[in-house]
């Protein structure tokens, strides 16, 4: 087999991962921005934080067990099981009205979906450079993968906003999200069932502290983990509290919120591919990461000063937030996966565990802060915390 043929053979599965990733993120976006409002109709605003914390704690437990499970049944079967549980949970949310059943289903949904994206990471990292080589393409491949994912994040809110209209009929969007997972399962079953698993390094409670010592002793890993944790805090806060603030406190209807989100999430599609390429070939990740945190933090801190404002002004402000987040997302993802191999489940698991950990700490922190300050000024606190990310980014050695 020629060198060109080997590259084509290796990267062909990645094309199907782009499609699978798009469907996975599309299903998540169908519900992510509306979960908090739906939960609030069942349990009230304070119940929102409790559901997210419980689901995130279960997700963390899942990540502690993931390498053992991968070694026993393989990445493909973990993906199929996790996706099936997620599809059933969403179908239940679409069909059931009993709050005593809906709350556990929400917890299951929040616990399971991070594992789906973890398994996709294992596929992507393995097919990109299974022997730890060709890492110069990591930014490009990750950028394209995230662009497909974020196109879903951009398109879904506009569609769902108009499906909901002025109603609170959330059942239909959960039914559609469950249906998308059926197509996702079909692609993964056809294209990845013969996936050959690498040898996974074990992780568990006993391995966490040695791994944390490894990370803390490596300034590059410590910096990128800290930066990515702050990014995940931003996602947790924005997904849970931004729709609540726009809908419940400022009175915008769902079509308007969908329009705002569709426009303001476009930076992920516009910027992540070129930034990934520039970081690979010219500048490295550090400069973009620092700039991203500065823009994101200042924009988030400005939320209470805008007030009701106009839809256009809200689009501009949230566009700046998401532009900064897009810069941080692609640079932290690219930088991290240039440091680790696909079979290093310890480091990858802890990296992906940052999402549920961010939900636990971020939502718990926000819930406590809401006892002393208004929701609008909570965004100023968020923004000041996010500015710390620029300091973390300065700790890493740039790749160029």
Which range, 81-85, 139-143, 344-348, has the best average confidence (pLDDT)? 81-85
Mean pLDDT of 280-306: 89
- Measured over the CA atoms of residue 165, residue 248, residue 110 and residue 108, the dihedral's sign is negative
Structure tokens of 252?
Answer: 């915008």
Cβ(289)–Cβ(267) below 8 Å: no
Phi-psi label, residue 307: left if phi above 0, alpha if psi -120 to 50, beta otherwise: left
186: pLDDT strictly greater than 80: yes
- The DSSP 8-state label assigned to residue 273 in this structure reads H
3-state helix, strand, coil in the chain (%, to 5): 85, 0, 15
pLDDT for 10: 46
In percent, how much of the chain has pLDDT > 90? 28
pLDDT for 167: 67
- The DSSP 8-state label assigned to residue 137 in this structure reads G
90: pLDDT strictly greater than 80: yes
Kindly provide the residue ranges of all beta strands, DSSP E only, lying in 57-188, ordered along the sequence: none
194: pLDDT strictly greater than 80: yes
10 Å CB burial of residue 131 (0-12, 13-18, 19+) is exposed
Mean pLDDT of 210-224: 84
What length does the chain have? 400
pLDDT, one tens digit per residue, over 96-142 is: 888 889 999 999 999 999 889 888 888 887 776 554 454 455 566 76
Residue 399 placed within a domain = no
* Lowest mean pLDDT across 2-11, 177-186, 296-305: 2-11
Residue 400 placed within a domain = no
Task: CATH number of the domain at 182, please.
Answer: 1.20.1250.20
- pLDDT band (50, 70, 90) for residue 205: low
Mean pLDDT of 19-43: 86
pLDDT for 293: 96
Site of tokens 């059943």:
101
pLDDT for 227: 94
The per-residue pLDDT of the chain, averaged, comes to: 83
What is the number of alpha carbons within 13 Å of residue 127 lying toward its C-beta? 24
The Cα–Cα gap between 187 and 184 comes to: 5
Mean pLDDT of 192-197: 82
Containing domain of residue 381, as a range? Answer: 3-394
* Lowest mean pLDDT across 48-62, 148-162, 249-263, 294-308: 148-162
The Cα–Cα gap between 81 and 167 comes to: 33
Domain count, the chain: 1
pLDDT for 62: 85
* Lowest mean pLDDT across 48-52, 223-227, 384-388: 48-52
- pLDDT band (50, 70, 90) for residue 364: confident
Mean pLDDT of 156-165: 78
pTM reported for the whole predicted model? 0.78
Residue 353 placed within a domain = yes
Residue 208 placed within a domain = yes
């Amino acid at each position: 087999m020629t060198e060109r043929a080997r590259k084509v053979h290796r990267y062909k599965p990645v094309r199907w991962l782009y499609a699978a990733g798009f469907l996975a993120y599309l299903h998540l976006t169908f519900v992510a921005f509306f979960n908090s409002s739906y939960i609030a109709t069942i349990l009230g605003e304070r119940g929102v934080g409790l559901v997210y914390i419980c689901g995130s704690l279960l997700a963390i437990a899942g990540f502690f067990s993931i390498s053992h499970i991968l070694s026993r049944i393989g990445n493909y079967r973990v993906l199929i099981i996790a996706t099936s549980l997620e599809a059933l949970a969403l179908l239940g949310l679409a069909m059931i009205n009993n709050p005593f059943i809906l709350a556990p289903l929400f917890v299951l949904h929040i616990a399971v979906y991070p594992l789906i994206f973890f398994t996709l990471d294992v596929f992507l990292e393995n097919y990109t450079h299974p022997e730890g080589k060709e890492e110069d393409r990591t930014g490009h491949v990750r950028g394209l993968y995230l662009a497909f994912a974020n196109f879903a994040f951009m398109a879904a809110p506009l569609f769902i906003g108009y499906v909901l209209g002025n109603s609170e009929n959330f059942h239909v969007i959960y039914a559609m999200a469950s249906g998308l997972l059926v197509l996702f399962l079909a692609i993964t079953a056809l294209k990845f069932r013969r996936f050959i698993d690498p040898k996974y390094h074990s992780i568990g409670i006993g391995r966490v502290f040695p791994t944390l010592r490894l990370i803390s002793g490596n300034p590059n890993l410590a910096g990128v983990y800290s930066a990515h944790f702050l990014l995940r805090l931003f996602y947790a806060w924005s997904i849970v509290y931004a729709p609540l603030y726009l809908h419940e406190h400022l009175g915008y209807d769902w079509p308007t919120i969908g329009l705002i989100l569709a426009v303001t999430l476009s930076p992920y599609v516009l910027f992540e591919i070129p930034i990934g390429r520039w970081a690979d070939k010219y500048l490295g990740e550090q400069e973009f990461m620092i700039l991203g945190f500065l823009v994101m933090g200042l924009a988030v801190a400005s939320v209470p000063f805008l007030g009701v404002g106009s839809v256009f002004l809200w689009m501009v402000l949230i566009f700046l937030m998401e532009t900064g987040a897009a810069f941080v997302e692609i640079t932290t993802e690219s930088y991290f996966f240039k440091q680790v191999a696909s079979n290093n489940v310890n480091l990858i698991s802890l990296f992906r565990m940052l999402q549920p950990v961010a939900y636990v700490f971020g939502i718990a922190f926000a819930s406590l802060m809401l006892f002393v300050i208004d929701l609008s000024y909570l965004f100023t606190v968020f923004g000041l915390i996010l500015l710390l990310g620029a300091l973390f980014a300065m700790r890493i050695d740039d790749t160029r």
